[in-house]
Structure 1
């Protein structure tokens, strides 16, 4: 039998240049995100395909950082209120929802979900709840802004669960034993200073 390549000479070009499909492939974690999610990763270099050439691969540490950042985004800050509420009992009514930036340093704020309406897809709609700050709470449910924006967390407690459609009173304000409506009071002294130690003119100024 005579082969068709009989008499052919070896090419001086490198093997992979002549047959690029033989280049070694190695699977790396693929990170395919849109422009909005790329900003969340804060400059982490992304890998856009499942398999890339060895020469084209990014540093393994960069690929790992991208994978970890993507996992953190998807599991902790990649869901909105509607996605979280659909996964807990009674659609999350009575549970506390908050964003990460609301819990930083001395700042504290959360929303107690009182009612929620899902759209056809279940990822958007309208959510209502009591907004609670330090020393303040809305006395009636308000529509929650940015409820469909990813970045929400839920603090689930079984004892807080409320049947869907059942009205319940506003929760106590943070640092208080009862809900405090900011429109119904005026701060007459600094909350961390004994009023008896403050001169009367200062009380007048703070009133």
Structure 2
């Protein structure tokens, strides 16, 4: 069986040495080791060395396993870890996590853990949506203007409309007010919509 090991640290001031040593001390002798120095916030597939690992595992025939010291080495959050393990399982690669008592995440017990992770990931998404909605509602209630701040003042908008009404081109008006053509067109279109609804 071909054994892969993967280790990750967040900064160049850290080293992956302890993670590799831990894997070896548990009796694994990885033939191929991949190591990333990258933030844990980056999805697994976007980590340079982990991406190479996935490509190699996919091309390789025969029995293979990936050994990592901790679960968070497989992704940035529950959803990412779940996706990574499923992808590895599809390639026929076992996934062992030392932190979980060397549990193979592609086994029946491992799939139970993954099901739990999936539920946690869904809960995380729901909580994030709830918090976002609550924050927007609170901001509206406090009278805050949502979205990006306007690049033009009320006086600017009136000046832009006046120039357009006098026949000035969109491009020339945009240059004069130091804004984009899209901003001028949006102000023009907003006025047209108002005129239609009145």
Q: Fold conserved (TM > 0.5)?
A: no
TM-score, length of structure 2 as denominator length: 0.25
TM-score, length of structure 1 as denominator length: 0.24
More strand by share: 1
More helix by share: 2
- Structure (1 or 2) with the larger CA radius of gyration: 1
